[in-house]
A and B are shown apart, each in its own frame.
Chain A
Amino acid sequence: MTFEYAPAPESRSVVDIAPSYGLFVDGEFTEAADGRVFKTVSPSTEEVLSEMARAGEADVDRAVAAARRAFEGWSALPGSERAKYLFRIARIVQERSRELAVLETLDNGKPIKETRDADLPLVAAHFFYYAGWADKLEHAGYGPAPKPLGVAAQVIPWNFPLLMLAWKIAPALATGNTVVLKPAETTPLSALFFADICRQAGLPKGVVNILPGYGDTGAALVAHPDVNKVAFTGSTAVGKAIARTVAGTRKKLTLELGGKGANIVFDDAPVDQAVEGIVNGIFFNQGQVCCAGSRLLVQESVHDEVLDALKRRISTLRLGDPLDKNTDIGAINSAEQLARISSLADQGEAEGAERWTAPCEIPSAGYWFAPTVFSGVTQAHTVARDEIFGPVLSVLTFRTPDEAVAKANNTAYGLSAGIWTDKGSRILAVANKLRAGVVWSNTFNKFDPTSPFGGYKESGYGREGGRHGLEAYLDV
C-alpha cells in the first residue's frame, strides 16, 4: 500500500458567484452602454462561471468622469481618514479571504494552496501597508506636501488578479488619487468582488471604478485625455504600445512587464534548497509569473547532479483540481495561453533542446500543461530568450561567475534573478552585477508590500511596493 492522498477539495460553497455582473462605476453596478457582455470560465473545467458587462469607450468616459468627480473630495480628505478606509478594506479582505481565495482559484485556475497562502495574505498586507502611508506622505522623501496626480488608469493582468489590483489600488488611494481599473478579460471576478468590499468599507462613490473588458477597453482607458496616471502590468508588447500612446501627454506612466529571469546555481549552492527554489521559481502559479526563474543557469560542474535532483523533485508535483488543497500545479489560465506555451515548447524541441516532461496525468477538461524542463539549452534557443509564461524551464550551463553574469544579463528583460551559493561575498558581487530589479539570493519568488518590485530595461519602469511605490502616484 502506498500513501495516496485522498481528494481534499476546498469547499466551493464559501463563494456565491452571481450569474452576471455589471461594470462598477460611481459606486453602482451598471450595464455597459452598448449592452455588450462576455463570459468568464473556470480554466480547470471550462465551466462558465459568470457573465460580465464589457466596458466600451462610453463606459470609460463615464468611469473617468466619476473618478474625476470623486477626486476632489478624496484628495482633500485628511490622510488619516483615507488611511482608515484602506485599513477597513484590508480587514474586510482578511475576513473574506477564504471566499476570495476560492473565487480566485475558480476564475484563474491556480491552486487553492497558492491563493490561500500567497495571493490573499499579500493582498491584505498590501492594503495594510499603504493604509499606513496615507497620513505620512510628507515623510516619504517626496517633498513637504506631495500631491496626488488625479485619476489613475490601471490595467492589470490575469496571473495574480486580486494581488495586482491591490498593488495598483492601495498606493493610488493612499496618495489621494482615484482609480479606474480594468481587470483582465479572463479573470474579472475578484475585481468585482473587490467592488463589493469597497461598498462594505463605505468608500465614497467614484473613488474606485472597475471596468471589465478586453484589450480595447484598456486601450481606451489609457488613451483617455482626462486620466493623469497610467499604470500597467502585462506584456512588454502592450507596455510599449501604451508608452507610445501616452507619449507627448502629461500622464505619468509606470510599467511592470515581462521577464526572463535567470536563476543562477553555483557549485557550492545549498543544493536541496536550490532545487526547491528552482521549482518554486518556475512552477509557482504554473510559471505564469513575470518574474519567474525561467532560465536555470547551473554551473557545469554540478549540472548533472542538480538536473537529476530537479527531475526527481518535479516528479513529486501534484497536478490537478486547483481546489484540492494538495494540488501543486493548477490549470493554465486560458486556451490562448496554453496554445502559446505549447507552441514555444514545440519550438524548443524543434530547435534541438532536450525536452523532459513530468510524469503526470492531465485532466480531460480544462487547460493544462505538465511541468517541462529543457536541457542542453543555449542563449540562441528561443526558449532561452522569449518569455514563455508557463511551466517550462530552460537549463543552461556556465563555467565561471563572470560567464553566469554575462548570460544572465544577455536579455532585453531585467526583472528578476536568483543566486544560489553558500559564499556571502559571491552573493553580493553577483547581485551587484545583475541588471535586474529584484534579486533573490538563496530564495526565489518572495514578495512583500514593503519591498519595491519592478524591472530594468524592457521589463518596464517604476516600482510597486515600499516607499518607492508611492512615487508612481505622486506629482513629483
Chain B
Amino acid sequence: MSTTPSPTHALTDVAASDASLRRFLHGLPGVDPVGLEARAAALGTRSIKTTAKAYALDLAISMVDLTTLEGADTPGKVRALGAKAVLPDPTDRTAPSTAAVCVYPDLVEVAKAAVAGSSVKVASVATAFPAGRAPLEVKLADVRAAVAAGADEVDMVIDRGAFLAGHYLKVYEEITAVKEACGGAARLKVIFETGELSTYDNIRRASWLAMLAGADFIKTSTGKVAVNATPANTLLMLQAVREFRDRTGVQIGVKPAGGIRTAKDAVKFLVIVNETAGPDWLDNHWFRFGASSLLNDLLMQRQKLATGRYSGPDYVTVD
C-alpha cells in the first residue's frame, strides 16, 4: 500500500482548472444529513464487549495522536507528553504506545527527543494553525521548519475562506505546495475544520479536493472551534477514502480530532471505521484520533477490563 498518492491516477485531469475542479466536486453525490446521522447513530448502538472491547481499546490507544496545542506549551510539558505517548500506562507495560504526539512546530525538536527510540511519531500542526490566515509563503516556511525539525507528520489547515468562496483551485494548489514542502519526509494530514465548512456536502467536496491534491490523511478539525469530530462527519470522510481507493487504488487515512473524550466514543468510531471503510483502515497507519484527554479514559477502561474494578483518575497519569 502506498502512502503517497501517485501523481498520475484516474482523476489527474480533474484539477486542470478551477472550473474542472468545481465540476468534479459539485458532481459528487449529495449527502442527506438525516440519513447520514441516522447511520452514524445506528453504528453507535453496536455493543462491543469482552474480547472485542479489549481489542478495540488497545487499537484506539495505538491510534491516538496525543496532542497539546496551547499557547502555554513548554518543553517540559511536551517532554512529559512524549513520555506518556511512549508508555501510556506505567503500571502496565502491555498497553501500546500511542501513534504520535502532536505539537506546534517550535516544539518538534523537543518532542522528537522525548519519543526517540520508540514507535511514536511526531506530528506538527503547521500552515498558521488553526486559522490558516497567513500568506502562503509564511505557511510554507512553517511547514519547512517543522519538517526540518524532524516532524514525521504535518497537520495543515486548508484555507476555509478560499474553499467557501469557491476558489477550489487555490485550496488545491496550497495543499500541493505544502505536500511539496513536506518533501516526502513527512506524511501530510489535511485539516478541513468541518465545523466551519458547515455542510456535509462541503465536507465530502473538501475530502475529495484534499485527496486529489495529495493528502495522506484527511482530518476533521483543529479542536479549536465549537464543533469538531462527530461520528457523522467521520463516517462521511471514511466513505470518501473508501471510494477514492476504489477509483484510484490509493489509500488515504482519516483522523477525527477534537471532542472525542471517552473510550466509549472511541470504540464507536472504530465500529464506524470497521463497517464503513473496512478493516483495512483499522491500523494506526490509516486511522488516528486527535485527542488528549481520551487517552486516560482508554487507559482506565483498559484497567477495568484487566482487573474487573473501575479505575479512577489517580491511577492514570495527568500528563
Direct contact of A and B (CB under 8 A): yes
CB pair B48–A5 under 8 Å, yes or no, is: yes
CB pair A270–B30 under 8 Å, yes or no, is: yes
B30: chain A residues within 8 A (beta carbon): 268-270, 422
CB pair A276–B38 under 8 Å, yes or no, is: yes
* B126 CB within 8 Å of chain A: no
* A407 CB within 8 Å of chain B: no
CB pair B47–A4 under 8 Å, yes or no, is: no
Question: For the complex, what is the distance from the CA of A273 to the CA of B48, rounded to whole Å?
Answer: 25
Also in contact, A8 and B36, with CB within 8 A (given A3-B270, A270-B29, A272-B31): no
Question: For the complex, what is the distance from the CA of A5 to the CA of B282, rounded to whole Å?
Answer: 14
CB pair A442–B282 under 8 Å, yes or no, is: no
CB pair A8–B32 under 8 Å, yes or no, is: no
Question: For the complex, what is the distance from the CA of A1 to the CA of B58, rounded to whole Å?
Answer: 12
CB pair B35–A8 under 8 Å, yes or no, is: no
* B262 CB within 8 Å of chain A: no
Also in contact, A6 and B49, with CB within 8 A (given A276-B38, A276-B39): yes
* A2 CB within 8 Å of chain B: yes
> Which residues 399-451 of A have a CB within 8 angstroms of B?
422, 442-443
A8: chain B residues within 8 A (beta carbon): 47-49
* B56 CB within 8 Å of chain A: yes
Residues of B in contact (CB 8 Å), total 28
Residues of A in contact (CB 8 Å), total 24
B38: chain A residues within 8 A (beta carbon): 276
CB pair B279–A2 under 8 Å, yes or no, is: yes
* B53 CB within 8 Å of chain A: yes
**Which single residue of chain A is at the shortest CB-CB distance from B48?**
A5
* Choice from B52, B59, B271 contacting A4 with Cβ under 8 Å: B52
Q: Mark B13-50, 1 if CB is under 8 A from A, else 0.
A: 00000000000000001111011101100000111111
* B176 CB within 8 Å of chain A: no
CB pair A6–B36 under 8 Å, yes or no, is: no
| Most B-side CB within 10 Å, residue of A270, A272, A443 | A272
B274: chain A residues within 8 A (beta carbon): 3
B47: chain A residues within 8 A (beta carbon): 5, 8, 325-326
* A277 CB within 8 Å of chain B: yes
Q: Mark B51-81, 1 if CB is under 8 A from A, else 0.
A: 1110110010000000000000000000000
Question: For the complex, what is the distance from the CA of A21 to the CA of B50, rounded to whole Å?
Answer: 38
Q: Mark A1-36, 1 if CB is under 8 A from B, else 0.
A: 111111110000000000000000000000000000
Q: Mark B237-259, 1 if CB is under 8 A from A, else 0.
A: 00100000000000000000000
| Most A-side CB within 10 Å, residue of B50, B52, B279 | B52
Q: Is the interface of B mostly helix, strand, loop or mixed?
A: helix
CB pair B282–A2 under 8 Å, yes or no, is: yes
B56: chain A residues within 8 A (beta carbon): 3
Question: For the complex, what is the distance from the CA of A268 to the CA of B275, rounded to whole Å?
Answer: 24
> Which residues 238-293 of A have a CB within 8 angstroms of B?
268-273, 276-277
* A117 CB within 8 Å of chain B: yes
A1: chain B residues within 8 A (beta carbon): 55
CB pair B53–A273 under 8 Å, yes or no, is: no
How near does chain B come to A430, taking the closest CB pair, in angstroms?
16
How near does chain B come to A314, taking the closest CB pair, in angstroms?
12
Question: For the complex, what is the distance from the CA of A259 to the CA of B47, rounded to whole Å?
Answer: 34
* A347 CB within 8 Å of chain B: no
* A316 CB within 8 Å of chain B: yes
Also in contact, A6 and B279, with CB within 8 A (given A268-B30, A271-B29, A272-B29): no
How near does chain A come to B29, taking the closest CB pair, in angstroms?
4
* A113 CB within 8 Å of chain B: yes
Question: For the complex, what is the distance from the CA of A268 to the CA of B51, rounded to whole Å?
Answer: 42
B275: chain A residues within 8 A (beta carbon): 316
Question: For the complex, what is the distance from the CA of A326 to the CA of B36, rounded to whole Å?
Answer: 19
Known: A6-B51, A277-B35, A325-B46. 20 other contacts (CB 8 A): A2-B279, A3-B52, A3-B56, A4-B52, A5-B46, A6-B48, A6-B53, A8-B48, A8-B49, A268-B29, A270-B29, A270-B30, A270-B31, A270-B32, A272-B36, A272-B39, A276-B38, A325-B47, A422-B30, A442-B35
Measured CB to CB, the residues of A under 8 A from B are: 1-8, 113, 117, 268-273, 276-277, 316, 325-326, 422, 442-443
Nearest first, the 8 closest Cβ-Cβ pairs linking A and B are: A273-B35, A8-B47, A325-B47, A422-B30, A6-B52, A270-B32, A273-B32, A271-B29
